[in-house]
Amino acid sequence: MNWDKYNVLLEKLNTLHSHLEKYEEVSDAEKDLMMSYLRSMHNELADGRDEIELEAKSHANGNNGKTEIVHEAPQVVEEEVIDEVIEEIVELDPALLELFADKEMVELSDKLKMLPITDLTKAVSINEKAFTIKELFGGDSDLYMKTMHNLNIMGSYDEAKEFLITGVAAQNDWAKKGRVKKAINFIQLVQRRYK
């Protein structure tokens, strides 16, 4: 078992949990993120094991009250299967997927715009924040703050991309005409977080 990976996942899960405790409602995207951490932790724990002790049953018929441990093979769900299920459940708009497509940068100015950042909330100016909340988050500043926090604690751009596509980007129709430019700028900012 890879304890380093497990500890990172546990830290992410605890951070997300402590953040979500502050809010009355938890979005489906946040629930999905928490479930993905739990699945990854489960897979780390189950790695290399043939059996998992599931429950103890007490039998009074001749066992003198002794407890018998029942062993069953674990049911490990592969991440690929989970991704396929998510794709079947969520019908994604091709225009939305196009926003998140990787684009090759050849210009020096484009490459300079992609310098790494460590905190998304500090990389956005006050004016930019107001426009982003209005255009991409339906005017919901709480949703914006929760999303930015979640994006800051995620481990990879792929994870962040899935979180946005299945969550706020689909809900607020980022591919709608008039929002595309703002969405592309926001996505580039998110990419910079994981460089």
Instruction: Give 136-155 pLDDT, tens digit per residue.
Output: 999 999 999 999 999 999 98
Helices (H), 90-167: 94-99, 108-113, 126-136, 141-153, 157-165
Residues of the chain above pLDDT 90, percent = 31
Question: Containing domain of residue 188, as a range?
Answer: 92-195
How many degrees, rounded to 5, is the angle at CA 79 between CA 55 and CA 5? Answer: 75
Q: Which residue reads 């546990």 in tokens?
A: 10
Query: Would you say residue 130 lies in a domain?
Result: yes
Query: Would you say residue 110 lies in a domain?
Result: yes
Is the pLDDT assigned to residue 73 strictly greater than 60? no
Query: Would you say residue 129 lies in a domain?
Result: yes
Query: Would you say residue 115 lies in a domain?
Result: yes
Residues of the chain above pLDDT 70, percent = 72
Q: What is the pLDDT of residues 38-54, one digit of tens each?
A: 887 777 777 755 444 44
What's the pLDDT at 91?
58
pTM: 0.55
Number of structural domains (the chain) is: 1
Query: Would you say residue 40 lies in a domain?
Result: no
End-to-end CA distance of the chain: 28
Residues 104, 125: Cα–Cα separation, whole Å = 26
Tokens of residue 14, six digits: 């605890």
pLDDT band at 124 (very low <50, low <70, confident <90, very high): very high
Query: Would you say residue 161 lies in a domain?
Result: yes
What's the pLDDT at 94?
79
Query: Would you say residue 164 lies in a domain?
Result: yes
